[in-house]
Amino acid sequence: MIREMGKLGDFEFAGLGGKNMFAAGLRSAFGDVSTLSTVGFVETIYFLGKKVRLLNRALGYIKQNPPDAVVLIDNQGFNILLGREAKKLGIPVFYYLPPSVSVWAEWNAPKVAEICDHLICNIEADTHIYRKFSRNVYFPGNPVIDKISRFSPDPAFLPNLGLDPAKTTVSIFPGSRHQELKKLLNIMLDAAKILIEKHGFQVLLPLSHEGYRERIERAIERKKLTGKVTLVADDPYSVMNASAVNIMASGTATLESVLMRKPPVICYRIFPISFMIGKRLVKKQMIGLPNIFLDKKVFPELLQGACGPENIVRHALRFLDSDAAYHDELNGYYGLVRGMMGAPGVSLRAARYILKHL
């Protein structure tokens, strides 16, 4: 969206984000904050102090450098507080990718609508709920489709890594958050060990953030998988595309995998208290984004205790060992999800909407 807005006029973007937003043209106010993202309720406590300090600094920055608009992106716990204060200062507030109230916590919709002048949703079902509380709700499509449509596979990707394109390749995506790595990395590496030693597969592990490299390399070494699990930096789409199955932490990556027509095994482990609270808030008893879009549990969701190495391997092998009829069925589901994303150009449409209402 930043990149597309930059094409439409002379704008300055300042705020909070990570390396991809900086590369698109965002001037960082306080450095890379992408690793402060959390999942779960109890898990947030670990970063609470840092987030409160960051919020206060962000508010101070806005007061000293009043922008023409504040664009909130996802991250509701932080952004709802930031948006409320920006609204008090008379600054127009746009929420791009607001909380998915069609999936969980519908009661949150009026609160979100109250602090926002405009809501730009990435799930069409959310618009129907938000429009009960705001007239300024827009669905340009899901921006994931823009990134997918720009991706061009490199046939030399595996050979360049010293791997054999003829061998079955499986990837493990343990997540981009500290808590996900803590809960899922070792379990996924144990699954990888089985896939490598018992089934002769190749395993890729994309590095979500350079700051995690040492931690992941130590874990790989402890599991005696050095030289067997291939760590790949800055190219998650090539990893997904080269893999027959993607073993993934629940999140946007699972949707991206399905849009690439690669089946995900969806993994989710958090503190039990957080899980119990979350179960009370969700409307649909599913956690994987592709399953939520399909309103059907097509892709396996391994939650809490069910998320163990043997179970992960069992579900991965089911995709690999299935017959042509099952793969035809999967292709139908891939197409359905693709149709729900809208046409490419989502970020451009979102950018034009913001400019129109400034």
Tens digits of residue pLDDT in 56-80 = 898 999 999 999 999 999 888 789 9
Mean pLDDT across 220-233: 97
pTM metric for this prediction: 0.88
Task: State whether 104 and 207 are in the same domain.
Answer: no
User: Is 28 a residue whose pLDDT tops 90?
Assistant: no
Terminal Cα distance for the chain, rounded: 15
Task: State whether 78 and 167 are in the same domain.
Answer: no
**Please, how many CA atoms are within 13 Å of residue 253, restricted to the half-sphere of its CB?**
28
Cα–Cα distance for residue pair 48/51, rounded to 1 Å: 5
Task: State whether 237 and 182 are in the same domain.
Answer: yes
**Please, how many CA atoms are within 13 Å of residue 190, restricted to the half-sphere of its CB?**
12
Domain range holding 22?
Answer: 2-141+343-356
Task: State whether 136 and 174 are in the same domain.
Answer: no
Q: Describe the crossing of helices 178-197 and 309-321 by its angle, rounded to 10 degrees.
A: 60
Number of structural domains (the chain) is 2
CATH number, domain at 24? Answer: 3.40.50.2000
Cα–Cα distance for residue pair 348/168, rounded to 1 Å: 38
Q: Considering the chain, what is the average pLDDT of its residues? A: 90
Task: State whether 55 and 136 are in the same domain.
Answer: yes
Mean pLDDT across 113-118: 96
User: Is 274 a residue whose pLDDT tops 70?
Assistant: no
Mean pLDDT across 188-204: 98
Alpha-carbon torsion angle 177, 182, 184, 188, nearest 10: 110
What's the pLDDT score for residue 47? 53
Task: State whether 126 and 224 are in the same domain.
Answer: no
Q: Which residues are CB-contacts of 28 (< 8 A; sequence separation ≥ 6)? A: 14, 15, 16, 17, 22
Confidence class for position 117, pLDDT limits 50, 70, 90: very high
Cα–Cα distance for residue pair 358/68, rounded to 1 Å: 7
Structure-token match 């921006």, residue found: 143
pLDDT digits (tens, 9 = 90+) for 310-354: 999 999 999 999 899 999 999 999 999 999 999 999 999 999 999
Instruction: Retrieve residue 346's tokens.
Output: 């989502």
Task: State whether 76 and 37 are in the same domain.
Answer: yes
Mean pLDDT across 47-64: 83
The answer to whether 83 and 58 are in contact (CB under 8 A) is no
Cα–Cα distance for residue pair 40/52, rounded to 1 Å: 17
What's the pLDDT score for residue 45? 54
Mean pLDDT across 128-155: 96
The 3-class SS string of 201-258 reads CEEEEEECCHHHHHHHHHHHHHCCCCCCEEEEECCHHHHHHHCCEEEEECCHHHHHHH
Task: State whether 252 and 117 are in the same domain.
Answer: no
Task: State whether 192 and 332 are in the same domain.
Answer: yes
Residues above pLDDT 90, as percent of the chain: 72
What's the pLDDT score for residue 341? 97
Task: State whether 104 and 187 are in the same domain.
Answer: no
Cα–Cα distance for residue pair 180/173, rounded to 1 Å: 10
Q: Phi/psi zone of residue 69: left (φ > 0), alpha (ψ -120 to 50 degrees), beta?
A: beta
Task: State whether 131 and 159 are in the same domain.
Answer: no
Confidence class for position 53, pLDDT limits 50, 70, 90: confident
The 3-class SS string of the chain reads CHHHHHHHCCCCEEEEECHHHHHHCEEEEEEECHHHCCCCCHHHHHHHHHHHHHHHHHHHHHHHCCCCCEEEECCHHHHHHHHHHHHHCCCCEEEECCCCCCCECHHHHHHHHHHCCEEECCCHHHHHHHCCCCCCEECCCCCHHHHHHHCCCCCCHHHHCCCCCCCCEEEEECCCCHHHHHHHHHHHHHHHHHHHHCCCCEEEEEECCHHHHHHHHHHHHHCCCCCCEEEEECCHHHHHHHCCEEEEECCHHHHHHHHCCCCEEEEECCCHHHHHHHHHHECCCCCCHHHHHHCCCCCCEEEHHHCCHHHHHHHHHHHHHCCHHHHHHHHHHHHHHHHCCCCCCHHHHHHHHHHHCC
Task: State whether 118 and 259 are in the same domain.
Answer: no
